Amino acid sequence: MSLNHYLDQLNTPENRQLLKGILRGIEKESLRVNQQGYLATSRHPSALGSALTHPSITTDFSEALLEFITAPSTSVAELLDELDEIHRFAYQQLDNELLWVSSMPCQLGADTEIPIANYGSSNIGTMKKVYRAGLGHRYGRAMQTIAGIHYNFSVPDDLWRLLQRNGDRREPFQRFKSEGYFGLIRNFRRYSWLLIYLLGAAPAVCKSFVKNRSHQLVPVGSDTHSLHTPHATSLRMGDLGYQSDAQSSLAICYNSLQQYIDSLGDALQQPYAAYDSIGLRDQQGDYLQLNTNLLQIENEFYSTVRPKRTAESGETPLQALSSRGVEYIEVRCLDVNPLVPGGIDRETVYFLDVFLLFCLLSPSPQMDDSECAQIPDNLMRTVYRGRDPQLQLIDTGGERRLQDWGLDLIDLMQPVAKTLDSAHGTACTVHRDAVNTMRQRLEDPESTPSAMLLAQMQTNRETYYATAMGMAKQQRELFVQRPLDDQRLAHYRALATMSHRQQLDIEGADNKTFEQFLADYWHSSRR
């Protein structure tokens, strides 16, 4: 079925209401830094709760890398209000520290000085720490200090049922739904370079990040403390960030749920000599990594988008997908935007909804090896040269300018934006306004977040570090000047207290050694 056919079906009064049921969530990472702009070496603040069990505030790789998680919401306003609340609560608990506002990190010392996140003494907490230790040995700890935003997206089951009826599809509902999400994922991978161009906000980095590493960056004018490429968009998504030579050999297939499970499952069992040379344990018997395979667990596979299903206790992500199918998708290629408080704004969310619904409703043929190979190529070109007006990307049958291809996609998204607006009332234009903003960014590369950040550095004659530090202080004031009222403050304090109790309960319930726990986990994961 064509995009226009599905839009016609959704534009009836009874069906357009289904679009109000789109569910979205945000996971936003921020480094804690001290007043001098160096990575904080302090423990995760106890007042924020337990990083193991808190539903809204946890840590990622490092003890200093906070992760704020919103509850899923059908309301964009409520979604961003919750993210704002979590920031305000965090700042009421932080002791003279700042939240770094950029994806690329602050000033870093030696790799060994970057503290790995600690989740307590339970077996599951120990597993999470050993996994992160393994990441540090495999990729270096500095790479793991890069922050990003994950955007979770799903459409209601009634919308999937409408699509199934109109497509005259007779397979079981969950299978249809899962394959529909994989169609979205394939289109997302085809066009993810567009998000890197439009939303990329990491065009420069402090030279401390690339110390003793090979790279293609050059100084920003006469500023030798900051490195970039002149038309960069998102260095986080390039070979300085979440890319690895080891994973470049993976051929994860997105043509169906079963092929995805099989290909990723194979990677989890694949031996890898370089990781075997690290060893499983050190001389004292402490674990260096969970195993010596190409991937320790599923989450180690770095991708721009993932199919997701909420796992039950004792269940791995792949087991959850295999058992109950895809529940939602997770977008993983978004930079933290230092130009807006909280790192993401409404306009970006509205555009993401348009883009993802466009990917879902558009025809999505299966991918062959040739098309799979051009995806990382287009991504790397956009990372390093995205704002070059003459940049060519690989399209079927040849090359075309990023700007021309992007504008064609924007034109195709306009009816999707109009349909989303109509679901929220005749006066609503927020989705079309967001798409028009993105059109302007394609027509004028200087209006992109990456260009605006570089322009601010050059206008103020500031380094990347000084610019980000100044923004961090400004945003801190914005959050501190709006403390939570007593009721909301009590709510977050209660969550923190409850999370500490839950961690103690988990630790007290352990009745196995870590070796037994890990052996049982591997046995269960292979069933």
Q: How many CB atoms lie within 10 A of CB 377?
A: 12
Q: The tokens 């058992």 sit on which residue?
A: 323
Q: What stretch of H or E contains 308?
A: strand 305-308
> For position 243, what pLDDT does the model report?
62
Decide if 10 contacts 415 (C-beta within 8 A).
no
How far is it, in rounded angstroms, from Cα 328 to Cα 350? Answer: 17
How far is it, in rounded angstroms, from Cα 328 to Cα 356? Answer: 12
214-244 per-residue burial string, b: 16 or more CB within 10 A, e: under 16? eeebeebeebeebbbbebbbbbbbbbbbbbb
Q: Is 208 exposed, middle or buried (0-12, 13-18, 19+ CB in 10 A)?
A: middle
> For position 353, what pLDDT does the model report?
98
Under the phi-then-psi rule, with left for phi > 0, alpha for psi from -120 to 50, and beta for the rest, what region is 96?
Answer: left
Tally of residues, the chain:
527
Nearest residue to 19 (alpha-carbon basis) of 254, 356, 304, 260: 356
How far is it, in rounded angstroms, from Cα 172 to Cα 76? Answer: 32
How far is it, in rounded angstroms, from Cα 149 to Cα 489? Answer: 25
Decide if 129 contacts 81 (C-beta within 8 A).
no
Whole-angstrom Cα Rg for the chain: 23
Nearest residue to 351 (alpha-carbon basis) of 294, 433, 267: 433
C-alpha to C-alpha distances, 382 to 134, 196, 370, 375, nearest whole angstrom? 30, 7, 19, 11
Decide if 199 contacts 337 (C-beta within 8 A).
yes
How far is it, in rounded angstroms, from Cα 112 to Cα 142? Answer: 9
How far is it, in rounded angstroms, from Cα 382 to Cα 405? Answer: 13
Q: How many CB atoms lie within 10 A of CB 477?
A: 10
> For position 495, what pLDDT does the model report?
98
Using the 8-state DSSP alphabet, how is residue 145 labeled? Answer: G
Please, what is the angle between helix 369-385 and helix 173-199, to 10°?
30
C-alpha to C-alpha distances, 289 to 136, 137, 247, 278, nearest whole angstrom? 9, 8, 17, 9
Domain ranges, residue 259 = 3-525
Nearest residue to 457 (alpha-carbon basis) of 270, 125, 175, 206: 206
How far is it, in rounded angstroms, from Cα 471 to Cα 479? Answer: 12
Q: Regarding beta strands 398-401 and 392-395, do their DSSP bridges make them parallel or antiparallel, or are they unpaired? A: antiparallel
Instruction: Report how many helices (DSSP H) and strands (DSSP E) the chain contains, helices first.
Output: 17, 12
What's the number of domains the chain is made of?
Answer: 1
Residues of the chain with pLDDT under 50: none
First-to-final CA distance of the chain:
37
145 Cβ contact partners less than 8 Å away, ≥ 6 residues apart:
31, 39, 61, 62, 64, 65, 105, 108, 114
3-class secondary structure, 176: helix
> For position 95, what pLDDT does the model report?
87
> For position 167, what pLDDT does the model report?
76
Q: How many CB atoms lie within 10 A of CB 72?
A: 13
Nearest residue to 177 (alpha-carbon basis) of 187, 192, 162, 191: 162
For residue 359, give both structure tokens: 């990917």
C-alpha to C-alpha distances, 83 to 23, 304, 334, 470, nearest whole angstrom? 15, 22, 16, 22
CATH number of the domain at 45, please. 3.30.590.20
How far is it, in rounded angstroms, from Cα 80 to Cα 183? Answer: 28
How far is it, in rounded angstroms, from Cα 178 to Cα 321? Answer: 9
